Structures are given as structure tokens and as C-alpha cells.
């Protein structure tokens, strides 16, 4: 079955405990449904380091309004099914959003 990355964006604020709990419930729902195969929450942008040819700098690679907050990998029949899953992500009503891309290659250390 095809896999899709759901890239979760945030508006830069840390998220309240209630907002984070919504994300936890959403992940639990996807696990129960058998759709979620992996998920990764990322630390705040203040902990990010950007690596370029000329060195390492503090902060995210680019300064934009929205930053990547996490990545989930879901199995879905097709892009439309993946988009239906993505629409249920709390980021879509918490002021940010998600991006969906098909996974065309992967490696996970055994």
C-alpha cells in the first residue's frame, strides 16, 4: 500500500497542553485505524541548527511564518485517501496546516 508523509506545520508558538493533547488523540486514532506507520514530533525552532557549506547557524534553515513541527507517515490507498486523513489533523484548525507527499523511498534502521 502506498505511504504518504504528512508534514505538520506550526505557526511558531509552542502549543498549549490542550493543543498537544489533540495531536496525541489524533495519532492514537490513526494507530487504532492502522493508518499510521510512523510519527516524529520535532523540537521547537529555538533548538534548530541549520547546516550550510559555510557553517552552522542557530535557528531553522529558513525563517518563514510556518515551521515544520512534525512528520507522520500513513498508509493510504491513494492520494485522495491520504488527503482525507490529513484533513483530520488538528494543525488544520489550530492556525497552521499540513502538507501531503507520497513517500517514494525510505529507510528505517532495523
> In this predicted model, what pLDDT tens digit does every residue of 13-52 receive, in sequence order?
777 899 989 999 999 999 999 999 999 988 877 788 888 8
Residue 56 belongs to some domain of the structure: yes
Q: Which CATH number fits the domain that encloses residue 43?
A: 3.30.70.1060
The pTM assigned to this predicted structure is 0.86
Residue 8 belongs to some domain of the structure: yes
Residue 108 belongs to some domain of the structure: no
Q: What is the pLDDT of residues 64-107, one digit of tens each?
A: 667 888 999 999 999 999 999 999 999 999 888 999 999 999 99
CA–CA gap between residue 94 and residue 92 (Å, rounded): 6
Asked whether the predicted pLDDT for residue 61 surpasses 70, the reply is no
The number of distinct structural domains making up the chain is 1
Q: Which helix (H) or strand (E) holds 31?
A: helix 17-33
Q: In which domain, by residue range, is 88 found?
A: 3-62+69-102
Residue 107 belongs to some domain of the structure: no
Residue 91 belongs to some domain of the structure: yes
Q: How many residues can be counted in the chain? A: 110
Residue 25 belongs to some domain of the structure: yes
Could you tell me if 107 and 89 are in contact, meaning their C-beta atoms sit under 8 angstroms apart? no
Amino acid at each position: 500500500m502506498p505511504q504518504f508523509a504528512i508534514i505538520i506545520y506550526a505557526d511558531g508558538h509552542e502549543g498549549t497542553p490542550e493543543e498537544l493533547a489533540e495531536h496525541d488523540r489524533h495519532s492514537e486514532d490513526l494507530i487504532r485505524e492502522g493508518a499510521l506507520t510512523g510519527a516524529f514530533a520535532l523540537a521547537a525552532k529555538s533548538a534548530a541548527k541549520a547546516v550550510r557549506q559555510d557553517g552552522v547557524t542557530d535557528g531553522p534553515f529558513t525563517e518563514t511564518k510556518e515551521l515544520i513541527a512534525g512528520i507522520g507517515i500513513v498508509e493510504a490507498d491513494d492520494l485522495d485517501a491520504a488527503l482525507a486523513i490529513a484533513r483530520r489533523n488538528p494543525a488544520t484548525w489550530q492556525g497552521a496546516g499540513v502538507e501531503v507527499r507520497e513517500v517514494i523511498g525510505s529507510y528505517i534502521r532495523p
